[in-house]
Amino acid sequence: MTGDKPKGSRAIALVGPYHSGKTSLLESILSITGSVHRKGEGIRVFGDSSAEAKEREMGVEANFGHTKFMEDDYYFIDCPGSLEFLQESLSVLKVVDAAIIVVEPDESKIASLAPLLNSLQEQNIPRIVFINKVDHATGSVRNFVSRLNEISKAPIVLRELPLREGEEVVGYVDLASKRAYHYGKQEASKRIDLPEGETDRVAQARYEMLETLSDFDDALMEQLLEDIDPDNADVFSDLAKDMADGLIVPALMGSAIQDNGTFRLLKLLRHEAPGIENTQARLNIGEGGALGLVVKTLNTAHGGKRSLVRVLRGSFKDGETANGERISGMTAMQGDEGEKRTTAETGDLLAFGRMEKVKTGDVLTTNGSADGDLSLPVLPPVYALAIEIENRNDEVKLATSLVKIVEEDISITFAQHDDTHEMVMEGQGEIHLKVAIDRLKSRYGLGVKSRKPRIPYQETIRKKITHHARYKKQSGGHGQFGDVVVEIEPLSRGEGFRFEQRIHGGSVPRQYIPSVENGVKAYLKKGPLGFPVVDLLVVLIDGKYHAVDSSDMAFQTAGRMAMSEGLPECRSVLLEPVMKVKIFAPSEYNAKLNSLVSTRRGQLLGFDTRAGWSGWDAVEAMMPQAEMADMILELRSVTAGTGTYEFEYDHMAELSGRDADQVIEARKEELAG
């Protein structure tokens, strides 16, 4: 291999579906490079050590490791595989130099890779495919890569050809160097002579690789047309350049548990993967002072708050002030522990200690000078739960703990909903939010109950009436007297509430008119059906007063009585919120999306291709909010875990028939309880 390898530390993300072996691969890397001295199947020397991860046997947050290989520094980020924890990947992918996509050679799982491949493509992040568990492959690796190419915009180039003994993969041929290797058991692969009968197969596979590279190199194209086998050094140069530019995706193979293919992967990273200079260009970072991006926040029981920072330019020193806060300690993370540092140089990925006001997504500088495209992508919420503290004495503690939860995971939001009087937490799915609730208990000692959020139903009227109401009360001393006549009429949908007055001759003194309006508004918070009343006009047209007994309170009461007595005569109708939804999924699932929308009382608006995503569609529809509470669960089920959606409030629509009766009855039971 030739060419100048990148200088400085490199950050590499390990991504892919859960159970593909990302953590096993990182264990293998750390073991081979001497950073850890114990590994093996079932032993998690590195990875998410949280109770949530152990219970579900899956990673639920990004984890960080550091090692050296041939004197070069590498920072590895092991990203969760579930789509519900995709935000963890998106945040760190922003600043990595390359991503290793770890996959199993199982064609049935290819569809689940599409969101990840497209996201990497959109961000133009250099990437490598590592086909793990190749020792258990039963089908053709070349066919598997061919299927992967169906969902990848950049061609996936097979760099190695498997060698088999019977059905077992026992080694590989490096198609760039034309060298053959035999896998060892927990040891480095050994170079061997190319087995008899493999020459033609290797030549064909190498030609296919070169043919793809020639699409981006005219000189190579001419050599192939003239049947000239290019120099290996030129091939390696093309492979490195094209990967850095996002034009190709090289594919390697191995078995992380057996340490097979790991050393070859490290060699590729060292000689071909781009470094921080490529990342700076991708993010439009120019020259200047120290610059870093906070990609994750950790709140630990003993170490306090830690901010994971990729240094994109310049250097930071322990004890130095950045963004107005003092850096209190630096650590190169290795699982939950790490190596203390005094300086963070360009390319380093370190935890900065106790920067209390700094949050994920913040750009750190020492002189206030920042540039580049550094905003983190944030996934919109697709699932929600209403939460309630079990012990009301812990309400203040709940608020501060939720802030820490959101600090650690920026795709979680929480807010008090005034219309339903609930604290609602939103995120990426059922497991995602349950993990957050588990953390409230395990880390902060808070018992939290959860349920589906209430739907903010409203009600309105269909009929115009005139109603007279009088409030008269006499007891010792001054009494209370307020008399009003109001017209109540419906407005068009979305107009809200209006109050007007057409009083003549001072039948209701001017100072009491606002009191009548306040009384009307007070009742509209809960109408005859039990919900807030909207889209109506109330006009005060007449009334009477008493010089001694009339008061603000009396006319407020009269206004409220006018509504409580009059609205039941106005033919109340229930309104439900309707959302405009855009659903994203592979085109092959369109029929299932049609069924999903129609069975949930939705209205299809149309189909379009998803911009930049080959073979994907965007389906627009109107959906009642009540039908969307668990829609993401069904959507992922019918699209092999690939589908997602985004939505926004659009309008309120009438709800009638059995659906309305059920809502009204449930509301009565709730109010009675």
Looking at residue 197, its pLDDT comes to 87
Q: What would the mean pLDDT of 192-216 be, rounded to a whole number? A: 94
Output Rg (C-alpha) for the chain, integer angstroms. 32
Q: CA-to-CA distance for 443 and 446, rounded, in angstroms?
A: 8
pLDDT digits (tens, 9 = 90+) for 517-561: 999 999 999 999 999 999 999 999 999 999 999 999 999 999 999
Are 191 and 50 part of one and the same domain?
A: yes
Q: Is the residue at 504 inside a domain? A: yes
**Is residue 5 situated within a structural domain?**
no
Q: Please tell me whether residues 586 and 665 are part of one structural domain.
A: yes
Q: For position 595, which CATH number holds?
A: 3.30.70.240
Both 395 and 331 in a single domain?
A: no
Work out the average pLDDT over 345-367: 95
Would you say residue 1 has pLDDT above 60? no
In tens, the pLDDT along 378-390 reads 999 999 999 999 9
Statement to judge: residues 102 and 231 lie in one domain: yes
| Domain identity same for 44 and 135 | yes
Fill in the DSSP letter of residue 444.
Answer: H
Confidence of residue 8 (pLDDT cuts 50, 70, 90): confident
DSSP letter for 272, please. Answer: T
- What is d(CA 516, CA 560) in angstroms, rounded to the nearest whole number? 8
pLDDT tens digit sequence for 93-110: 999 999 999 999 998 888
Return left, alpha or beta for 191; rule: phi > 0 is left, psi -120 to 50 is alpha, else beta. Answer: beta
Model pLDDT for residues 267-314, shown as the tens digit of each residue = 999 999 999 999 999 999 999 999 999 999 998 777 789 999 999 999
Q: Which of 501, 536, 570 is the last residue of a domain?
A: 570
Domains identified in the chain, total number: 5
Last residue of a domain, one of 570, 592, 609: 570
Predicted local confidence at residue 53, as pLDDT: 58
Spatial contact of 15 and 115, defined as CB atoms under 8 Å apart: no
By C-alpha distance, which of 649, 48, 671 is closest to 408? 48
Question: Mean pLDDT score of the chain, rounded to an integer?
Answer: 92
Q: Kindly tell me if the per-residue pLDDT of 42 is higher than 60.
A: no
Query: What confidence score (pLDDT) does residue 423 get?
Result: 96
70 and 136 share one domain = yes
Q: Rounded CA gap, 295 and 310, in Å?
A: 7
Distances (CA, A) of 293 to 322, 347, 358, 364, 457: 12, 11, 11, 6, 42
Residue 117 shares a structural domain with residue 174: yes
Q: 10 Å Cβ neighbour count for 650?
A: 14
Q: In this predicted structure, what is the pLDDT of residue 388? A: 95
Same domain? 71 vs 169: yes
Residue 502: which domain range?
Answer: 459-570
Tokens linked to 131: 């086909």
pLDDT at 46: 43
**Do residues 117 and 209 both lie within one domain?**
yes
Percent of the chain, pLDDT > 90?
81
Query: Cβ distance 471 to 481 under 8 Å?
Result: yes
Query: CA–CA separation, 437 vs 261, rounded Å?
Result: 39
CATH number for 330: 2.40.30.10
Where in 79-153 does DSSP place strands (E)?
98-103, 127-131
Q: Are 340 and 430 part of one and the same domain?
A: no
Q: Are residues 336 and 430 in the same domain?
A: no
* Residues whose CB is less than 8 angstroms from the CB of residue 666 and which lie 6 or more positions away in sequence, other chains included: none
Pairing of strands 127-131, 98-103: parallel
Judge whether 625 lies within some domain. Answer: yes
Residue 1 lies in a domain: no
- What is the per-residue pLDDT across 608-633, written as a single tens digit (0 to 9) for each? 999 888 789 999 999 999 999 999 99
What pLDDT was estimated at residue 2? 44
* Predicted model pTM: 0.89
Final residue before a domain boundary, out of 396, 426, 451: 451
Is 469 within 8 Å of 562 (Cβ atoms)? yes
In a domain, 377, yes or no: no
Predicted pLDDT of residue 47: 43
Pair 115, 16: CB distance under 8 Å: no
In this structure, is residue 532 part of a structural domain? yes
Show the tokens assigned to 364.
């750190």
At 189 the pLDDT is: 86
Domain annotation covers residue 375 = no
Tell me the pLDDT band of 445, cut-offs 50, 70 and 90. very high
State yes or no: pLDDT of 41 exceeds 50.
Answer: no
Q: How do strand 156-158 and strand 249-253 relate by DSSP bridges?
A: parallel
485 and 447 within one domain: no
3-state secondary structure 186-225: CCCCEEECCCCCCHHHHHHHHHHHHHHHHCCCHHHHHHHH
Averaged pLDDT for residues 190-213: 94
Q: What is the CATH number of the domain that holds 504?
A: 3.30.230.10
Structural domain contains residue 198: yes
For residues 41-69, one letter each, b for 16 or more C-beta atoms within 10 angstroms of the residue's C-beta and e for the rest, the string is: eeebbbbbebebbeebebbbbbbbbbbeb
